[in-house]
Amino acid sequence: MKWIAPSLAYLAVGLGLFVFHSAWGALLGFHAAIIGSLLIARPNIPLSILFKNSNKKWIVLSLLLCGSSGFALFFLWDVFNVASDLPAQLALLGLNSRTWIPFIAYFALVNPFIEEYFWRGYWGSATNHLHISDFLYAGFHALILIHKVDAVWILFAVAVLVLAGWFWRQIAREDDGGLLAPALGHMAADFTILVAVYRLAATV
């Protein structure tokens, strides 16, 4: 079941984006696939690990480094050669003036905890080398970026996300397995990136 779970998560994102053309459908389907898989697998990992932190420096480091993601995207927007029809693409996915704010709120507040428990908890590893979970975590983001940036930038984004997955695992390893610092860093990254897209896509 452990190896099936990522496939279901990828499938949910693909169906949501390319079949149902719904950002909400992709996100909620992704979460349903993960939660459903976890309920079946019943890993012996307490949910309290999401709120475990033994050293505040890891929270600060994670927030500062990961929170810079959206700012980097904002200032490098033109470098990434984002598709000129991005606003139209997002609108077709159901992201408009009425739905953007609740989407950002849910994505930033809920998604990091679900993903960290799944990728760094259930799929986690104490190795300080790259792990398959880092690549599995990064890979599905390529589906989100198709038709939005050039292929070279999709590869770049996936590479950066592989390193992000590795970084969050290392923080968890150094922080006695606690996932609060990775989850908060993940939250900062999601929030700043989505706000950057929201602000810039409306002015393309």
Per-residue model confidence as pLDDT tens digits over 74-92 = 999 999 999 999 999 999 9
pLDDT score recorded for residue 3: 86
pLDDT score recorded for residue 1: 67
What CA–CA distance (Å, rounded) separates 75 from 86?
17
* Structural domain boundaries in the chain: 50-201
- Asked whether 23 and 16 are in contact (CB, 8 A), the reply is yes
Q: Is the pLDDT of residue 12 over 80?
A: yes
pLDDT average, residue stretch 181-198: 98
pLDDT score recorded for residue 29: 98
Q: Is the pLDDT of residue 148 over 70?
A: yes
Cα 61 from chain centroid?
18
Of 56-60, 61-65, 200-204, the one with minimum mean pLDDT is 200-204
pLDDT score recorded for residue 55: 95
Q: Is the pLDDT of residue 204 over 70?
A: no
Q: Give the angle subtended at the CA of 186 by the CAs of 174 and 37, to the nearest 5°.
A: 90
What CA–CA distance (Å, rounded) separates 152 from 29?
28
